[in-house]
Chains A and B, each alone.
Chain A
Amino acid sequence: MILELDEVAVSYGGVHAVRGVSLGLREGALHALVGPNGSGKTTLINAVSRLTHLSGGTITFDGADVSGLRPHQVYRRGLARTFQGIRLVEDLTVRENVALGFEGRTPEARWFRRGASGAALSAADEALDRLGIAGVAAERPGELPYGVQRRVEIARALAGDPRVLLLDEPVAGMGAAERVEIGETLRQLRADGMTLLLVEHDLAFVLGLADQLFVLDFGTLLASGDPHETAALPAVRTAFLGPEERRRDRSA
Chain B
Amino acid sequence: MIDLFAANEGVIAGALVFALLAYSLQVALRAGVFSFAGFAAYGIGAYGSGFLLLEGWNEVGAILVVLVGVALLGWLFAVLLTRLKSLYLAMATLALVLLVQSAALAAEPVTGGALGMYGVPPVVDTLTTLVVTAAVLVGVLLTQRGRPGRRLLALRTDEALAEAMGIDVRRRQRVAFVWSTVLGGIAGICQLSLVGVFTPEDVGFPVIVTTLTVLVLGGTWHWAGPIVGAVLTAFLPFWLAAVGDWRPVVEALVTVLVVIFLPGGLVSLVQRGGGALRGRGRRSKPPEPVEPAAVTPAEMRTEAVR
> Which chain B residues border A72 with CB–CB below 8 Å?
163-169
B294 interfacial contact with A, CB 8 Å: yes
Task: Identify the interface centre among B146, B158, B160: most chain A CB within 10 Å of its CB.
Answer: B146
* Contacts A117-B146, A120-B147, A134-B294; A71 near B163 (Cβ below 8 A): yes
Give the bracket for the number of chain A residues in contact with chain B.
Answer: 35 or more
Q: Identify which of A76, A81, A90, A135 contacts B157 (C-beta below 8 A).
A: A90
* Contacts A136-B297, A139-B297; A83 near B146 (Cβ below 8 A): no
- Map CB proximity to A onto B256-294 as digits: 1 under 8 Å, 0 otherwise: 000000000000000000000000000000000000011
- Map CB proximity to B onto A39-76 as digits: 1 under 8 Å, 0 otherwise: 00000000001010000000000000000001110011
B148 interfacial contact with A, CB 8 Å: yes
CA distance A39 to B169 in the complex (A): 30
A12 interfacial contact with B, CB 8 Å: no
> Which chain A residues border B294 with CB–CB below 8 Å?
129, 132-135
> Which chain B residues border A89 with CB–CB below 8 Å?
150, 153-154, 157-158, 161
B72 interfacial contact with A, CB 8 Å: no
Q: Which of A93-101, A208-216, A237-245 contacts B (4 or more CB under 8 A)?
A: A93-101
A144 interfacial contact with B, CB 8 Å: yes
Q: Which of B113-121, B204-212, B226-234, B298-306 contacts A (4 or more CB under 8 A)?
A: B298-306
B99 interfacial contact with A, CB 8 Å: no
Q: Identify which of B146, B168, B299, B303 contacts A70 (C-beta below 8 A).
A: B168
Q: In the complex the two chains form, is A135's CB within 8 Å of B297's CB?
A: yes
* Chain B contacts with A in 147-179, Cβ cutoff 8 A: 147-148, 150-151, 153-154, 157-158, 160-161, 163-170
* Chain A contacts with B in 67-113, Cβ cutoff 8 A: 70-72, 75-76, 80-81, 83, 87, 89-92, 96, 99-101, 103-105, 108, 111-112
> Which chain B residues border A91 with CB–CB below 8 Å?
153, 157
B106 interfacial contact with A, CB 8 Å: no
B142 interfacial contact with A, CB 8 Å: yes
- Map CB proximity to B onto A140-183 as digits: 1 under 8 Å, 0 otherwise: 00011111100000001000100000000000000000000000
Q: Identify which of A87, A112, A144 contacts B142 (C-beta below 8 A).
A: A112
Listed in ascending order, the chain B residues whose CB lies under 8 Å from chain A are: 142, 146-148, 150-151, 153-154, 157-158, 160-161, 163-170, 293-297, 299-301, 303-304
Listed in ascending order, the chain A residues whose CB lies under 8 Å from chain B are: 49, 51, 70-72, 75-76, 80-81, 83, 87, 89-92, 96, 99-101, 103-105, 108, 111-112, 116-117, 120, 129, 132-136, 139, 143-148, 156, 160
